[in-house]
Structure 1
């Protein structure tokens, strides 16, 4: 397995290293993504594909009266996210569990916000996964997608060759899948210079 496969599913020592790289390397993208939404401090939040847990920490800082759950299918990601957010977990403000976005292990209409940072590239059957997100989101809830690759930069194609199962979507493809999954209001934001893409979808 190449080191870069750890972007899809961190494993072993290389996976631990990758989660730390993700936490620092994605911080600007994360900051930009969060700038496109307003957050209720009492919110119930789910961060899907939580990686190293940095975005869980951001959510916790914004939802001081709420609760944040991290979900990832990588044991390493779950472990690293728990370490980073140990204090919040101890105070029962946060939990991090292992699970799959194609079968989210929560009841209908549980969350006010769901986020997906740098992760939808690896989701199988995008419409099915988006439908699962829609299911566990409350009516009027927000789904935030942030991608460092907008599908419009030819130089990003190399990653899909290096990383098995990775697919980079453009804005139209994501919007179409979100509509098919039942999202009503969809607002895309783009940084054309950096080829960043953020989509805010409301149930």
Structure 2
């Protein structure tokens, strides 16, 4: 799914990137590959995920091109307009206030920058409710909800792509 998501955006060789909810670190590694002269930051709420991401991206960290932080999407610890690219794979399900989180993302994204959300569940398959019933605090959003929340945060020109598998990729630029 992440490979498919990355086909929806262009990443420049010197981009400054952020992966919110960096999980096991594979997408941080992919961002490092796609921006060999840039910098990549990963942030995750989970201490275990932060440790895993640091291990898998040890070379990037040692070369000072990568930083992995434990933190909260509701209080992103970054200056305004610092990132060219921000990604969120399989994570917005768990953001406690998605509208406020999108406002946080908008603040730290540079003008002309790209924000991409990629999820395995597009909110249109009733079978996905099994996950929200099993995982406390999880909420699956459909494309209309995501689009509205992004627009409310200040984003325009929201592009949505969905697959027959139920995956969704939302890409937006800050203009």
TM over 0.5: yes
Residue equivalent to 2:99: 127
CA distance in 2, matches of 1:134, 1:198: 18
The CA deviation string for residues 24-57 of structure 1, in whole angstroms up to 9 with x for no partner, is xxxxx10000001111110000000000000000
Would you say 1:94 and 2:79 are equivalent positions?
Answer: no
Residue equivalent to 1:202: 173
Out of 127, 130, 138, which is 2:110 matched to? 138
CA distance in 2, matches of 1:144, 1:164: 25
Residue equivalent to 1:38: 10
RMSD across aligned C-alpha pairs, in angstroms? 0.5
Residue equivalent to 1:108: 80
**Pairwise CA distance, 1:124:** 1.0
Would you say 1:76 and 2:51 are equivalent positions?
Answer: no
Is the helix fraction higher in 1 or 2?
1
Moved over 4 A (4+): none
**Unpaired runs of 5+ in structure 1?**
1-28
Residue equivalent to 2:141: 169
TM norm structure 2? 0.98
The CA deviation string for residues 73-92 of structure 1, in whole angstroms up to 9 with x for no partner, is 11101000000000110000
**Unpaired runs of 5+ in structure 2?**
none
Q: Secondary structure at the match of 1:151?
A: coil
Query: For this pair of structures, how many residues does the alignment match?
Result: 174
